[in-house]
């Protein structure tokens, strides 16, 4: 069994040296992209909170480059292990979207190196083991299992 602390340590080791991008989105595309870019640029790994990324209808990471998501991965892992919050729920299900959307063609998966992929597999495994009640409540168990297979073995 992989503990939450071991999963977070693996993510910190694999992603901790990722530099903060100058820009996270195609900020010149439209006002929404510019607003999301400004929010992500104004935060650090220590100051990013659920209120910044927890609303699926207004979520800046959906517009972010894979480099931007990689930079914030240590923060996102911590949010995924946090208790569900009023108004936002459990962040792990939203993180799953960023890890699983597109399967093997997921832009973050394509961007990550082998160490980073392995760390995300550890993260997903720990989420499966320690957050089963949250996973079950969102009916996303099959997606978590498929995402784990992708990040662990490179196949869906």
Instruction: Return the closest-CA partner of residue 139 out of 104, 96, 81.
Output: 96
Half-sphere exposure of 103 (CA within 13 A, CB side): 4
Span 45-69, average pLDDT: 96
Q: What is the pLDDT of residues 100-130, one digit of tens each?
A: 999 999 999 999 999 999 999 999 999 988 7
How far apart CA 89 and CA 103 sit, in angstroms, is 24
pLDDT greater at residue 23 or residue 89: 23
pLDDT at 137: 75
Of the candidates 72, 89, 70, 90, the residue with the CA atom closest to the CA atom of residue 81:
90
Is the pLDDT at 54 greater than 80? The verdict is yes
Q: For residue range 127-141, list pLDDT tens digits in order.
A: 988 777 777 777 787
Q: Please check whether residue 98 is in contact with residue 144, taking contact to mean a CB–CB distance below 8 angstroms.
A: no
Per the prediction, the chain carries an average pLDDT of 93
Question: Which long-range contacts does 102-105 make (Cβ < 8 Å, 24+ apart)?
Answer: 103/146, 103/150, 103/156, 104/150, 104/154, 104/155, 104/156
pLDDT of residue 140: 80
Share of residues in the chain with pLDDT > 70 (%): 99
Predicted TM-score (pTM) of the model is 0.94
Q: With beta carbons less than 8 A apart as the criterion, state whether 9 and 123 touch.
A: no
Residue owning tokens 């208790």? 83
- pLDDT, tens digit, 9 for 90 and up, residues 85-100: 888 988 999 999 999 9
- pLDDT top residue among 67 and 2: 67
pLDDT at 89: 86
């Amino acid at each position: 069994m992989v503990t939450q602390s071991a999963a977070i340590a693996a993510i910190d080791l694999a992603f901790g040296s990722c530099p903060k991008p100058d820009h996270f989105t195609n900020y010149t595309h439209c006002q929404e992209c510019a607003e999301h870019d400004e929010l992500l640029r104004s935060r650090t790994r220590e100051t990013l909170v659920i209120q910044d990324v927890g609303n699926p209808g207004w979520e800046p990471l959906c517009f972010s480059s894979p480099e931007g998501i990689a930079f914030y991965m240590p923060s996102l892992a911590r949010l995924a292990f946090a208790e569900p919050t009023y108004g936002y729920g459990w962040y792990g299900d939203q993180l799953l979207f960023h890890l699983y959307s597109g399967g093997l063609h997921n832009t973050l998966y394509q961007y990550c190196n082998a160490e980073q992929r392995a760390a995300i597999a550890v993260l997903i495994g720990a989420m499966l083991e320690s957050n089963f009640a949250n996973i079950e409540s969102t009916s996303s168990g099959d997606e978590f299992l498929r995402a784990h297979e992708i990040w662990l073995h490179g196949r869906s």
